[in-house]
Structures are given as C-alpha cells and as structure tokens.
Structure 1
Amino acid sequence: MAGYRALAAVGRSVVTLLNAGFRAEIPDGPRRPEAVLAGPVDFDRVGTTDALIRRPAVTVYCYRLSVDHDTRPAWAALAAQDGLPRLPLRMHLLLAAWDEVVESELEWLGLAVRILESAGPLTGPLLDPTGGWLPGDTVQIVPDELAMDSMSEAFQAMTTDYRLSLPYLARVVRIDGRRFPVPGEVTTVAVATSELPR
C-alpha cells in the first residue's frame, strides 16, 4: 500500500461499492438510498439546505483508527531489513441509515449488509485508485464487535442524537513511510601500537 491517501481511498471504496449495489438492487425509482462518507459535522447538518446527507441515505462514518497489532511485528521486521517503515491500521466504521420511517432505515441497513457480505475483500478495481495500491493489495471489510457503551460514547462525542448503526472493520490498511538507509555491517578493526623506548 501507499502513503497517506490510503485511508480516504478505503472510505471512498466502501461508498462506491454500496452505491453500485444500491443501483443494482433498485435500478429505478426515487426511493433508492445513496451512500456517503460522512462525519459529525455532516450529521449536524441533516435537514439543512447544504446537507451532505439527504434522505434516503446510508452514511459510512470512520469513528476510530487503531493499529493492527496482529500484523505489526511482521511489518516492523521487514522494515528493519529493507528500510521502509510500514504501519498497519484498522478503520472502525459505523454504517447508519437515514429515512423518514424506521422500517425503511432497517431495509437500507439490511441491503448494505447484503452488499458488503457479498463483495468479499476489496482488491483490484474495487479499491479507489487514489490509494496508490500495489498489485495484490487487499482490504477486508468485516463486521466489528462494539459494545453498547462504546457505541453510546461514539455518539456522545457528537451533537447528533443516537442512531441505529452497524459497526464494520476495514483491515488492514497499511501506510508506508519514507525509506530510511539500512545500516551496513559494522566491522571492528584493531590496530596494535607499541610504545617507543625513551
């Protein structure tokens, strides 16, 4: 994987995947949801004239980033050999549906789950090209385990009311650093000296 654009590229990839699935499942009609990559500011603007979220919609919100401790030791060992630091990350996502009635919101969440579970790992053309991906790069989108109190804390940090949401995890998104020179082998040379007689 490449540099700092990889995280945003994964977010765009998930949104593109969902929208393609929505169009395939609901080819026509005004009641098709649109997936958008959103944040707390966008939640606060729902219902205003400049709102990004327009019902019906499904939002993809990255509420947390964490280090992937399962793969970090292997990447650190490789960096010691080739001089390229790499940080494997996990993106913690919340999917929420927005509509006028709760039944429709549940339908849109169910449809989003169907699309994500059917797609498998994001790779090749499913990854947004702005990420600068290398051949063979893959990002898994899997359901995440999130306790109710953690879900509430995520919404307490925002001014918007609590929304029924589905937690997902994007793993592993690797950010590559700048290459540093790998030190060569150190050779110790001993030089014998003797004192001259006085």
Structure 2
Amino acid sequence: MSDALAIAAVTETLRAVLAEAVQHAVPGAKVTVRHPGDADAAVTGPALNVFLYRTDIDAAWRNTDPPGTHPGETRRPALALALHYLFSAYAPPDDDSAVAERLVGAAMSALHDRPELPAGDLRAAAKFSDLHLQEEPVKLTPSALTADSMCRLWTSLGSGYRLSVAYEARVVLIDSSAPCRTPLPVLRRGEAGSGPVAAPTAAAPWPVLDAVQPAVAEPGSDILLSGSGLTVGAASVRLTHLVLGGPPVVLPARAAGADAVSATLGENLGAGCWSAVVVLTAADGGERTTRPRTLRVAPRVTSPLPLTAVLDPKGAAVLEVRCASAVHPGQRVELLVGSRPVPAQPFARATRTLRFRLAAGVPGRYPLRLRVDGVDSPLTGGDAERFDADTAVVIT
C-alpha cells in the first residue's frame, strides 16, 4: 500500500524509465513533465513530454479489503486509481529527421519490454513515497484512443496536435487515513475450542501435507505437520518467507505418528508468513515434496511489559518496541493499541527496535500486539483463555 504521494511517484518513475530510452534513441533528448500548452513554449530541443491527463477509480479494487485485513476487522478500502498518461514528442521546428517518431518509438519499446514498474525503480526515482511497498504491481498498458477522442483531448488542452501515444498505469492503491478497528482475537470456539476437521479417508500415492499446527507459531516452538505419507523416507521441513524470499530455511523433522512429523523452529526465525513443505528423501537420494502450506510465525516483543507512554501537549506519544527477530524493510509493521492500529515509522534497514507515533491518544491501559505482515504477537500467557494483563501499554 502507499500514501497520497503515489501519483507523483508513478510520474517520476516514468520520467526516469523513459529518460534512458529516449537518450539512447536521440542523444541529448530530455523527458519533461509539463502541460502540453506550456511545453510548446518551454521545450526548445528534442523532448518527450509526460502528461497525466485523467485519473479513474478502479472498480475491481473499490470495495476490496486492504491486504493484511483479518476477519472481523474494519478497514476502509484503499483509494484504487488508474492513471492515464499522454506521451508527446517535441522536436525543433527546423528539424526534418523524424525525431518525433524516434522518441515515441523509443518510449513504446521501453514500456513494451518493461510492462510493470518494479519496486526498485519506484524506490530509486521517488524516495518521497512508499509506493514501492505496494504488493500489487503497477502495470503499464497502451490505451487505444480513437481519432475523435485524440482530437477532443488536444482541443481541450488548447495546444496544437503533437505526435502522441496514450498509456494507462494501473493500479495505484492509496491507503485510507480514516480510523479503523482491529478487535481482540477470539480465545475459544465451541466446547473443545476447535472447529470442524476434515481429513482424507484414503492414503494418497504422493505425500500430502494437510495442516500445520499451531496456526500461529512462535520462534523456538515446535510445529506439527500432518497429512499422509509423510514418514516414507527421511523427512525435513523447508521454509520460505513469502515476503522477503531469500534462501529457504531447512529444519530436521522427526516422526510424530503414522501421518505426521514435527520440527522445532529456530529462535531467530523472522516473523510473518512462511511457505512450509515437507521434503522426503529416499534411500537412493530421490526427493518427494509436498505442496506448500502457510505457516504464520508471530513476532515476539522483548521490551519490558507493560509499556508506558506519556502524552505530549498535542496528545501524541512515541512508543519504542523491541522484538526478538529483526524486521526488514518491505514488511508491513503495525502496533495494535487496544483496537487501534498504529503504523511503524519508516526504517531503512533490518532492525529489532521499532518506533510508533500514536496521535490523539487517550490515557488508559490497553492490550498490546505487534503485527508483522498480518501476524500478531500473542496476547495470552500460560492460560490460553485469558489475556495476559502485562501485555499492555499504559498511557498517561
């Protein structure tokens, strides 16, 4: 997700992407961002002008919950935008060497080879915005404007027609700043505290991983992976972080019955969502791998609890929270103070110390959860059906 500066971030990234292409095609050419009427007078040499002439609401995303929203939480949908750009070529009046055609061709070729704006380009060209953290890619596609539509557009711009091509950038998701609620979790469902369980009635010819328990694990704890055919060969568990990627983490597994294996998570395993598979190695060295299941690893708060915070004269407070495993740039981090989510302040490198600015705070004692990539730190202590009184923040 991103902030209100995301529109400008797309424009600046397009300028940077196209600048390299047009300079290669026409040495000395520039990429400008002006109104076409102003560009006529301001541009003297060969140039490609990038102009945002229309924004639309993306209907498919309009009523979709933002990524990371848990069941029962109320978050305003993101402002989903499709941006419509006009790329116009400018050449000196006395130049008859088809400079305009070369500029437009270079721009279309560059966007044909790069139909998305990668996070690295967004971060490099628009450091003022956090659009690069948006999970949904910003895709670029040509827009087919009829001759009548193009004529109407240039007439409304009050400028003479220039060789142009239209493109659409979709989708840009701008976070809502409206307050939202994150209710406390349910501690037990039903008499035994478990919902319905489905299991296969016949053994599968290939190893099958049905479930990973617990649903949310803590670093250093044991996990149970159940299914069928999981003990035919030497078993190991392979974990891959769904956000950070990187080399997989391989854990030795031990049998835990006819259809299950268990493994122990490392103490420094990062928080967030992991993809877990069971790898079975036969005596001849051949491997069989199950389909992945999601393993959610909870962050662990290591700051002395309860936290204390003092409101400043403006009613705001800065909370500093330390966690056991490092949190990396690109992960979505929030501190849930009662039912109120507070986003983490930006950080440029992996860190175990996070800062959160709570605005318009109200004195009181509130349950405290650290959320990393949608996974919350535990609120319960030894008694799974009661909230830990010390896992809280006291605001004065």
Q: Same fold (TM over 0.5)?
A: yes
Distance apart, 1:159 and its partner CA: 2.1
The yes-or-no answer on 1:58 pairing with 2:57 is no
The question of whether the paired residues in 2 share the 8 Å contact of 1:91 and 1:169 is answered with yes
Distance in 2 (alpha carbons) for counterparts of 1:54 and 1:118:
29
Distance in 2 (alpha carbons) for counterparts of 1:8 and 1:115:
20
User: Residues 183 and 139 of structure 1: is their aligned pair in 2 closer, same or farther, counting only changes over 3 Å?
Assistant: closer
The question of whether the paired residues in 1 share the 8 Å contact of 2:15 and 2:31 is answered with yes
The yes-or-no answer on 1:33 pairing with 2:23 is no
Distance apart, 1:162 and its partner CA: 1.5
- Matched to 2:28, the amino acid is R
Aligned counterpart, 2:173 = 174
Please state which structure has a larger fraction of its residues in helix. 1
User: Residues 178 and 148 of structure 1: is their aligned pair in 2 closer, same or farther, counting only changes over 3 Å?
Assistant: same
Distance apart, 1:76 and its partner CA: 7.3
User: Residues 135 and 92 of structure 1: is their aligned pair in 2 closer, same or farther, counting only changes over 3 Å?
Assistant: closer
Instruction: Output aligned runs, 1:32-181, within 5 Å.
Output: 32-43=28-39, 46-47=40-41, 51=42, 53-75=43-65, 81-100=73-92, 101=96, 103-127=98-122, 128-133=126-131, 134=133, 136-181=135-180
Distance in 2 (alpha carbons) for counterparts of 1:183 and 1:115:
43
Identify which range, 78-87 or 10-19, moves more after superposition: 78-87
Distance in 2 (alpha carbons) for counterparts of 1:31 and 1:123:
26
Distance in 2 (alpha carbons) for counterparts of 1:6 and 1:93:
15
Distance in 2 (alpha carbons) for counterparts of 1:108 and 1:40:
16
User: Residues 69 and 85 of structure 1: is their aligned pair in 2 closer, same or farther, counting only changes over 3 Å?
Assistant: closer
User: Residues 61 and 131 of structure 1: is their aligned pair in 2 closer, same or farther, counting only changes over 3 Å?
Assistant: same
Q: CA RMSD in A?
A: 2.7
Distance in 1 (alpha carbons) for counterparts of 2:66 and 2:146:
31
Distance in 2 (alpha carbons) for counterparts of 1:117 and 1:7:
21
What's the % identity of the aligned pairs? 26
Please state whether the residue corresponding to 1:115 is helix, strand or coil.
helix
The question of whether the paired residues in 1 share the 8 Å contact of 2:36 and 2:49 is answered with no
Distance apart, 1:184 and its partner CA: 6.2
Q: TM-score if structure 1 supplies the norm length?
A: 0.77
The question of whether the paired residues in 1 share the 8 Å contact of 2:30 and 2:47 is answered with yes
The question of whether the paired residues in 1 share the 8 Å contact of 2:37 and 2:159 is answered with no
Distance apart, 1:138 and its partner CA: 2.0
The question of whether the paired residues in 2 share the 8 Å contact of 1:86 and 1:174 is answered with yes
Q: TM-score if structure 2 supplies the norm length?
A: 0.40
Distance apart, 1:54 and its partner CA: 3.2
User: Residues 62 and 135 of structure 1: is their aligned pair in 2 closer, same or farther, counting only changes over 3 Å?
Assistant: closer
Please state whether the residue corresponding to 2:180 is helix, strand or coil.
coil
The yes-or-no answer on 1:16 pairing with 2:16 is yes
User: Residues 117 and 34 of structure 1: is their aligned pair in 2 closer, same or farther, counting only changes over 3 Å?
Assistant: same
Distance apart, 1:140 and its partner CA: 0.8
The question of whether the paired residues in 2 share the 8 Å contact of 1:88 and 1:173 is answered with yes
Distance in 2 (alpha carbons) for counterparts of 1:166 and 1:143:
8
Distance apart, 1:82 and its partner CA: 4.1
User: Residues 75 and 146 of structure 1: is their aligned pair in 2 closer, same or farther, counting only changes over 3 Å?
Assistant: farther
Distance in 2 (alpha carbons) for counterparts of 1:122 and 1:183:
32
The question of whether the paired residues in 1 share the 8 Å contact of 2:6 and 2:172 is answered with yes
The higher radius of gyration belongs to 2
Identify which range, 66-75 or 128-137, moves more after superposition: 128-137
- Matched to 2:31, the amino acid is A
Please state which structure has a larger fraction of its residues in strand. 2
The question of whether the paired residues in 2 share the 8 Å contact of 1:124 and 1:137 is answered with no
The question of whether the paired residues in 2 share the 8 Å contact of 1:36 and 1:57 is answered with yes
The yes-or-no answer on 1:7 pairing with 2:7 is yes
User: Residues 90 and 102 of structure 1: is their aligned pair in 2 closer, same or farther, counting only changes over 3 Å?
Assistant: farther
The question of whether the paired residues in 2 share the 8 Å contact of 1:140 and 1:170 is answered with yes
The question of whether the paired residues in 1 share the 8 Å contact of 2:73 and 2:182 is answered with no
User: Residues 4 and 41 of structure 1: is their aligned pair in 2 closer, same or farther, counting only changes over 3 Å?
Assistant: farther
User: Residues 155 and 2 of structure 1: is their aligned pair in 2 closer, same or farther, counting only changes over 3 Å?
Assistant: same
Distance in 1 (alpha carbons) for counterparts of 2:163 and 2:53:
15
Please state whether the residue corresponding to 1:74 is helix, strand or coil.
coil
